[in-house]
Structure 1
Amino acid sequence: MLEDIIYGRNPIFEAMESGREINKILISETSKDRTVQKIIDLAKNKNLLIQYVDKKQLDKLCEGENHQGVIAYVAPFKYYEVDEILAMASEKGETPLLVICDEITDPHNLGSIIRTANATGVHGVIIPKRRSAAVNQTVVKTSSGAAEYVPVAKVTNIVQTMERLKEAGVWIVGTDMGEQTYYEANLEGPLAVVVGNEGKGISRLVREKCDFLVSLPMLGQVSSLNASVACSIVLYEVVRQRNQRR
C-alpha cells in the first residue's frame, strides 16, 4: 500500500479533522502534551490505530525534523484538476481566486503559500509537475495543516494552464516588476496570482502570458522579498478590495 508520513501536532490533528485517510499514528511514549492528548482522543473516536513508540524511532523516521512527538502514516496526498477547482468556486457562488506557483522549489515556501491561501479564501494552488516542490511532509508541517483544506493541482504545463484559465474568464496577475504597484491594480475580478521562483522570479514565458504585472515597493537596500511573503501581501490586497466592494 502506498502511503506518506506527516508529522507535527497541528498538521496531524487537521488531517484527522479534514477526513484524510490515516492508516496509523505513532506517538512518543514520553509525550504528555495536551494537544497530543487531543489527537489521541480524536483518533480513538475515529477508531484509528495508535502505537506508542520510543522517541528515537520518530526521530529516525523524520530524519531529524521536529515531529513534536507524533507521526501519522497517511494515504498519498490527493491532487485536483484545475477544472475541479474552478467548479468548487462556482458551486460556492464565489469569484475564483487561485495561486500559480512558477517553480517554487523550497517546500517551506510552498507550505507558507498554502497556509496564506487558506487564510485568504483561495480556491486552489497550482504547481508544475517538474522543477517544483511537491506537497510532502515538510509542506504539510509548514502549512500548519492548511494543506488538508486547500486543493492543489499539479499540471504538466503552466503556460497552457494559464491559457485555460483565461478561457474560463480568469485574469492572470504576475508578482514581478510591473508598471503599477499591487495596491494600484484592480484585483477584484476572477484572478490567478502568479508567484515566481525564489531566485529567478517568474520565467519569461509565464511572464509574457500574464495579463498584467504588479510590483511591491522596495524602499530598503534589498531588491526582493521572499516568494511566500510577496504572495501573502498581494492576496491580502485582493481580500481588502473584494471586501471593500461589498
Structure 2
Amino acid sequence: MWYLTGFHAIEEQIKSGKAVGSLLVAKAGPRAREIIALAMEHKIRIDRVGTHELDHLAPDHRGIVLPVEDPGSPEDITLEGFLAGLGDRTDVLVAVLDEITDPHNYGAILRSCDQFGVDLVLTRNRRIAKHAEVIAHTSAGAVSWVSVAETANLIRAVGDLKAAGFWIYGADMAGEPVYTQDLRGRAALILGGEGTGISRLLRESCDVLVAIPSQGRVDSLNVSVAAGILFYEITRQRSQRS
C-alpha cells in the first residue's frame, strides 16, 4: 500500500478512476476542499482522521492522503499488445528508459511523456516501490495516465519495435544534432541512465544517435530535461508535416 500526499498526484489518481478505498482527511484548506469535492463526484468515501494518524502513515502529508494499491500505469500493458493495436498508425512515439534509477528523473520524464503525447514508455524496471510517492509527486500525477510496459529484455524489445517499423534513436552527447534528423513516423527514443548513458548493446541497436546542441560548460543536461527537449522536437516536426 502506498500513500499519495501531493495535491496533483491525488487529483490525477482520482480522475483516472484508479482510486479505491477512502480519502483520508485531517484538515482541509482551500486546495484540499477542491480535492474532497472531486472525490465526492467520483463516489469516493471521505474519512475524517486525526493529524497524528496521517503523521504515522505519511509524514509529508498536507492534511490529506489517498491510499492506493499502485499509483502506476493506467492499465496492464505489454509491448506485444501495444504493437498489435497500432494498426496502420504512422506517427507513434515510444520512450525506452534504460536504467533510469532516480525516482525524481523518472517522474519528471513521465510528466514530459504526458505533455508531449508519448504513446508508450518501455522500461526494464517500471516500479520503484519504495519511491512510488516520489514518482507520483514529481510527475504531477502523470504516472496515472502514461502507458508503461515492462520487459525483461530491452534488447529484444527494441528488436520487436524495429520489426514493427520503428526507427530507433538514442540520446547521446556524441550524436547528430537532433534538429537535423527527420523524427516523424514510428520512432522510439532510448534514454540512458544517469551518469552511465545508454548501455553498449542498446547503443548498438540504435539506427541514429541524436544530441541536443548546447553551449554550456557543464558536461550534459539532466536526463529528464533532455527527454523533454527531445520530445518537444519530435512534436514540433510532426506538427509541421506538409
Normalising by structure 1, report the TM-score. Answer: 0.88
Structure 1: gaps of 5 or more residues: none
Offset, 1:97: 0.4
Offset, 1:42: 2.2
For residues 20 and 90 of structure 1, the distance between their equivalents in structure 2, rounded to whole angstroms, comes to 28
Given the superposition, is the C-alpha separation of residues 112 and 165 from structure 1 closer, same or farther in structure 2, using an over 3 Å criterion?
same
Identity score, percent: 37
Q: Does 1:183 align with 2:176?
A: no
For residues 38 and 85 of structure 2, the distance between their equivalents in structure 1, rounded to whole angstroms, comes to 28
Offset, 1:90: 4.4
Matching of residues 52-67 of structure 1 within 5 Å: 52-62=48-58, 64-65=59-60, 67=61
Normalising by structure 2, report the TM-score. Answer: 0.90
Offset, 1:236: 0.2
For residues 159 and 153 of structure 1, the distance between their equivalents in structure 2, rounded to whole angstroms, comes to 14
Which one is further off, 211-220 or 235-244?
Answer: 211-220
Given the superposition, is the C-alpha separation of residues 156 and 227 from structure 1 closer, same or farther in structure 2, using an over 3 Å criterion?
same
- Aligned partner of 1:84 in structure 2 is 81
For residues 111 and 125 of structure 2, the distance between their equivalents in structure 1, rounded to whole angstroms, comes to 20
- Aligned partner of 1:138 in structure 2 is 134
Offset, 1:117: 0.5
Q: Does 1:118 align with 2:121?
A: no
- Aligned partner of 1:68 in structure 2 is 62
SS at match of 1:51: strand
For residues 89 and 151 of structure 1, the distance between their equivalents in structure 2, rounded to whole angstroms, comes to 14
- Aligned partner of 2:218 in structure 1 is 222
Given the superposition, is the C-alpha separation of residues 139 and 90 from structure 1 closer, same or farther in structure 2, using an over 3 Å criterion?
farther
AA aligned opposite 1:105: T
For residues 87 and 9 of structure 1, the distance between their equivalents in structure 2, rounded to whole angstroms, comes to 36
For residues 199 and 56 of structure 1, the distance between their equivalents in structure 2, rounded to whole angstroms, comes to 40
For residues 63 and 207 of structure 2, the distance between their equivalents in structure 1, rounded to whole angstroms, comes to 47
- Aligned partner of 1:22 in structure 2 is 20
AA aligned opposite 2:226: A
Matching of residues 151-190 of structure 1 within 5 Å: 151-190=147-186
Offset, 1:94: 5.7
AA aligned opposite 1:6: L
> Over residues 53-74 of structure 1, what are the superposed CA-to-partner deviations in whole Å (9 max), with x where a residue is unaligned?
2334323323x44x33221112
Q: Does 1:231 align with 2:219?
A: no
Aligned-residue RMSD, C-alpha: 2.1
